[in-house]
Structure 1
Amino acid sequence: MMNTKPIPVNTPLLSGNELKYLSECIETGWISSEGPFITKFEENFSKYIGRNFGVAVSNGSAALDIAVKALEIGEDDEIIMPTFTIISPAQSVITNGAIPVLVDSDPNTWNMDVSQIESKITSKTKAILVVHIYGLPADLDPILELAKRYNLKVIEDAAEMHGQTYNGKKCGSFGDISIFSFYPNKHITTGEGGMILTDDAHLVERCKKLRNLCFEPNGPRFIHHELGWNYRMTNLQAALGLAQLERINEFIDKKRELGAFYQQKLSFLAEKGYSLPLSSTDYSDNIYWVFGLVAPNIEAKEEIIKYLSDQKVGTRPFFWCMHEQPVFQKMGLFKNEKYPIAENLARNGFYLPSGLGLSMEDRELVVEILKNHY
């Protein structure tokens, strides 16, 4: 068979109150970083996650920049984090003057291997940056225990975990400070956008100041005593986010149903040497932000991705490891460091169309195309 209908790797679902709320922004003229939807989105999202405060920002990477700086982490401080993640967390650590200290991945959950963290703690360690990967959260209890024992901050990157829980409590509610992304492939999207959450009243004021060029809240305008960023979210974005948040439980159910469908229909791939996502752990059920596969080797991955591309089925490779990023190698970072589990995931992993807008017909077609290949 030859499929002629493109199946994108992600399609957002925008069939709720998005148009209504956006029209209200336009009709009232509140389209910039001031407007009622911003405060409402911050309050509703933080309440949903179980946090006291939310700070809406322009994207998830901006949220990480602010989070690191708000915690007063800087020159030569060390932050322990996974090597297997998108570049944003490491970039935020480095641009704040700190040093990322990497750990390998757990082969089953694809998250950071928490058993490796303690050996990486030194007198310079100031924080652990947890990144929840793809559908299952990192094992948080051991991380929180280490943070308490060594007096470390915890930055929780829950960019991919909207609505996911760890032992029944929402991801994004555990760290001293946590961040979310609202990129179009996330469960909730604002187009671009992010959110910082915390229970600390001092931290939230720091974050608000840093996102707004460090204007002094009570001082003369245009007089600055430190540097920040213009990382503000617009009222238009917040309007989108609020409409999306109204349907979060529906979206989570759709994601889990799609994941269960793929798990069942693609189980034959395990016989071909592929690793499918772990459906659950003793602390969480997979939320399937994306449905990832790990091919038996690079050749098999490249061959299947080409085949799917020829069939107009969209895919995306897994993240590339931080210790193998050319930009960091040029900086002299991570010399001679090896993380075999993460390297295997990065080289051989990819994910299938997993968006909320994926139709029943298209997901059946993805499975049929894969079965025809084998």
Structure 2
Amino acid sequence: MIKFLDLHKINAPYEAQLQEKLKNVLDEGWYILGKEVEQLEKAYADYCGTPFCIGVGNGLDALTLIFKGYIALGKLQKGDEVIVPANTYIASILAILQADLVPVLVEPDEATYNLNPELIAENITPKTKAILVVHLYGQLAAMQQINAVAQAHNLWVVEDAAQSHGAKFNADAQNLQPTTYNLQHSNNAVAYSFYPSKNLGALGDAGAITTHDAALAKILYSLRNYGSEIKYQNDFIGVNSRLDELQAAFLNVKLPHLNKENQRRIAIAKKYIATIKNRKIVLPFFDNSSNHVFHLFVIRTKDRNELQTYLERNGIQTQIHYPVPPHKQKALPQFHSLCFPITERIHDEILSLPISPVMTDEEVEFVVKTINEWTS
């Protein structure tokens, strides 16, 4: 069986270093906001080209705290509208709601699955104050066009980069990370998740926020820690969402290998795109730049369930990201009356193939051969 994602195999090369980090943390006896968190925050800020990185408990908290930070700064007010892709994972929408803001769902570009810039302006109202961009499946959204819309309407831009660690915008011309090009406002921020399955994954929940804005960073450091900068003195209604010292230690081991692992993902994706030849399957859009790090390799077919069963019978695990769109979720009844045909079609047809830095060439070739032999 070719596993969809073999986390044990992914982490195995680092086992000795991870064990050493565990021992170091135990010996140090400092378990909350210690040296490992400080080291990771500096290293990841450097990696992303930003002056500030704030480690938090998970990716959802990262997004939620960004919005709460904007509210604390007076840049947003409760009840403001935030444009968000209709086909995103529900966490993007939950973050908006948990900050007492109003999500406005917008259809994606059917080719890239990312937010369609042309549809943003159509959904802007006097209450619209921000855009939440989701770099879905590892591919950066069309930020130049989105930023142009944001500038024209004086909107803040927040990025959900939970799936796009290390993706580079216009990499052929500039060596830029996702956080360094989005500077039409000084306080734009990017949220990351280090959930174990991500391109940069911890061994548990973890997340981070990167930003260029010192005022926002100052508030975020406080909000993640009960709204407190000085112990027992609380300036804001904060939360307990501090990046765990042990998870930071593990991420410090893995971060230096992220680019190499991303390159392996891209190599596999190129092989899939070049050699999967089945007229019933739509392959993902890829422009051969470094703006896609293939957290997921997502194909589409109208016979999705049949294909998934066929691949499982032939020893290939797959997953669906995601089977139910947010506006159809029981938890979000306020959106049930809305109709998003592109989003619904995507969610009915997508299937994620195995892709990871530890897949062998033989496994990749077997996946290709098996798909090409599928006739239904």
Structure-2-length-normalised TM-score: 0.89
Q: Secondary structure at the match of 2:216?
A: helix
User: What residue is the counterpart of 2:196 in the other structure?
Assistant: 184
User: What residue is the counterpart of 1:354 in the other structure?
Assistant: 355
Name the % identity.
Answer: 28
Identify which range, 79-88 or 187-196, moves more after superposition: 187-196
Distance in 2 separating the partners of 1:10 and 1:316: 13
Residues 146 and 8 (structure 1), Cα distance of their counterparts in 2 relative to 1, 3 Å cut: closer
2:287 alignment partner, one of 256, 273, 280: 280
Distance in 2 separating the partners of 1:335 and 1:257: 40
Are 1:160 and 2:163 matched, yes or no?
Answer: yes
1:7 alignment partner, one of 3, 7, 13: 3
Distance in 1 separating the partners of 2:283 and 2:227: 46
* Structure 1 residue runs without a partner (length 5+): none
The list of structure 1 runs, each at least 4 consecutive aligned residues, that deviate by more than 4 angstroms after superposition, is: none
Alignment of 1:83-232 (within 5 A): 83-168=86-171, 169-173=176-180, 174=182, 176-191=188-203, 192-215=205-228, 217-218=229-230, 221-232=231-242
User: What residue is the counterpart of 1:237 in the other structure?
Assistant: 247
Native 8 Å contact 2:85 2:107 kept in 1: yes
Residues 316 and 29 (structure 1), Cα distance of their counterparts in 2 relative to 1, 3 Å cut: same
Are 1:324 and 2:324 matched, yes or no?
Answer: no
Residues 92 and 24 (structure 1), Cα distance of their counterparts in 2 relative to 1, 3 Å cut: same
CA deviation string 1:148-194 (max 9, x = no partner): 22221110111111111112321133260111111122111112211
CA deviation string 1:288-330 (max 9, x = no partner): 11111111x2xx111111222233422111223222222111x
User: What residue is the counterpart of 1:27 in the other structure?
Assistant: 27
Native 8 Å contact 2:84 2:115 kept in 1: yes
Identify which range, 310-319 or 9-18, moves more after superposition: 9-18
CA deviation string 1:65-87 (max 9, x = no partner): 11111110442110001011111
TM superposition shift of 1:35: 1.7
Native 8 Å contact 2:138 2:164 kept in 1: yes
Q: Secondary structure at the match of 2:55?
A: strand
CA deviation string 1:111-169 (max 9, x = no partner): 01110001111111111000011132110012112222222111011111111111232
Distance in 2 separating the partners of 1:203 and 1:279: 34
Native 8 Å contact 1:83 1:323 kept in 2: yes
TM superposition shift of 1:203: 0.5
Letter of the structure 2 residue corresponding to residue 224 of structure 1:
N
User: What residue is the counterpart of 2:313 in the other structure?
Assistant: 310
* Structure 2 residue runs without a partner (length 5+): none
TM superposition shift of 1:284: 5.2
TM superposition shift of 1:285: 4.6
Residues 225 and 48 (structure 1), Cα distance of their counterparts in 2 relative to 1, 3 Å cut: closer
TM superposition shift of 1:214: 1.2
TM superposition shift of 1:372: 4.0
Distance in 1 separating the partners of 2:166 and 2:362: 26
Q: Secondary structure at the match of 2:157?
A: strand
Native 8 Å contact 2:297 2:355 kept in 1: yes
TM superposition shift of 1:9: 3.4
Q: Secondary structure at the match of 2:158?
A: strand
Native 8 Å contact 1:10 1:185 kept in 2: no
Residues 18 and 120 (structure 1), Cα distance of their counterparts in 2 relative to 1, 3 Å cut: same
Native 8 Å contact 1:318 1:345 kept in 2: no
Distance in 1 separating the partners of 2:372 and 2:131: 42
Q: Secondary structure at the match of 2:165?
A: coil
Native 8 Å contact 2:83 2:103 kept in 1: yes
Q: Secondary structure at the match of 1:314?
A: coil
TM superposition shift of 1:19: 3.4
CA deviation string 1:18-66 (max 9, x = no partner): 3333332233233x22221111111111111111100011111110111
Letter of the structure 1 residue corresponding to residue 286 of structure 2:
S
Native 8 Å contact 1:278 1:286 kept in 2: no
Letter of the structure 2 residue corresponding to residue 139 of structure 1:
A
Distance in 2 separating the partners of 1:39 and 1:151: 34
Identify which range, 33-42 or 304-313, moves more after superposition: 304-313
User: What residue is the counterpart of 2:18 in the other structure?
Assistant: 18
Structure-1-length-normalised TM-score: 0.89
User: What residue is the counterpart of 2:300 in the other structure?
Assistant: 294
Residue-pair matches, total: 356
Distance in 2 separating the partners of 1:357 and 1:74: 46
Cα RMSD after superposing both structures: 1.9
Q: Secondary structure at the match of 1:27?
A: helix
Native 8 Å contact 1:105 1:342 kept in 2: yes
